[in-house]
């Protein structure tokens, strides 16, 4: 309820508010909420159950959480994506592979393999292992309702590229080619997003 007490209902069809997605994203990241004596710049949050989460959002300089944001209004789909990307630190950079350990003799520890110049794997004995399977690159995806200059376009497309979201689908499961960046998003949809974030290990 408005005081933060459980009502015993999940409300899957209910739109997510800015207060709710702040709590979800910050708890998922491990940042949690501010405690102790503190103030918030957003006046609407000063006597709100989400006050501690809004303070952390302000500290993180989350772009959606401005001083005048009404945190009890329905969050847009684009704003939810933007918040998730910023709070969880999701980027377009691939993870760095761990450097192989080298022993005093110059041999590689662990599996004892190294990449040759052609991309083939050379074992410690000098034999050549089969090349690694080619990485499949997903085709470019565009949405008819997402202009390139939309303020949340980059965050939305990043989550598409990472496989977290895929846009709207028809009843048969085929894509519609839309993502509705300015529309509200309900609790069931956000639950699906966080499930994917957990599966893809963006949330530990």
pLDDT of 152:
98
pLDDT of 135:
43
**Which helix (DSSP H) or strand (DSSP E) does residue 196 occupy?**
helix 187-199
Under 8 Å between Cβ of 186 and 13? yes
Find where tokens 């496989």 sit.
Answer: 163
pLDDT of 140:
67
Under 8 Å between Cβ of 97 and 123? no
Per-residue model confidence as pLDDT tens for the chain (204 residues): 877 788 898 889 999 999 999 999 999 999 999 999 999 999 999 999 999 999 999 999 999 999 999 999 999 999 999 999 999 999 987 656 555 555 555 444 444 444 444 444 444 444 444 444 444 444 568 899 999 999 999 999 999 999 999 999 999 999 999 999 999 999 999 999 999 999 999 998
Alpha carbons 50 and 172: distance in angstroms, whole number:
39
Cα–Cα–Cα angle for 49, 50, 54, nearest 5°?
150
**What residues have CB less than 8 Å from 36, skipping those under 6 apart?**
none
CA 12, 17, 23, 24 torsion: positive or negative?
Answer: positive
Q: What is the DSSP string of 45-65?
A: GTTSTTHHHHHHHHHHT-TT-
Find where tokens 């997605």 sit.
Answer: 21
Q: Provide the b/e sequence for 119-136 (b: ≥16 CB within 10 Å).
A: eebbeeeeeeeeeeeeee
pLDDT of 202:
96
């Amino acid at each position: 309820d408005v005081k933060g007490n459980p009502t015993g209902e999940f409300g899957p069809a209910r739109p997510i508010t800015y207060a709710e997605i702040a709590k979800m994203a910050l708890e998922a990241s491990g940042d949690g909420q501010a405690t102790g004596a503190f103030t918030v710049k957003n006046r609407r949050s000063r006597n709100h159950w989400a006050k501690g989460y809004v303070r952390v959002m302000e500290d993180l300089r989350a772009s959606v959480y401005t001083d005048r944001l009404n945190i009890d209004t329905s969050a847009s789909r684009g704003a939810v994506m933007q918040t998730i990307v910023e709070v969880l630190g999701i980027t377009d950079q691939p993870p760095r592979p761990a450097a192989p350990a080298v022993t005093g003799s110059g041999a590689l520890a662990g599996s004892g393999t190294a990449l040759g110049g052609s991309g083939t794997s050379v074992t410690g004995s000098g034999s050549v292992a089969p090349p690694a399977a080619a990485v499949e690159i997903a085709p470019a995806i565009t949405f008819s309702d997402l202009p390139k200059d939309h303020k949340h376009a980059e965050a939305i497309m990043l989550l598409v590229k990472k496989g977290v979201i895929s846009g709207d689908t028809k009843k048969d499961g085929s894509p519609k080619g839309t993502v509705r960046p300015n529309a509200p998003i309900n609790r069931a949809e956000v639950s699906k997003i966080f499930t994917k974030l957990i599966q893809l290990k963006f949330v530990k």
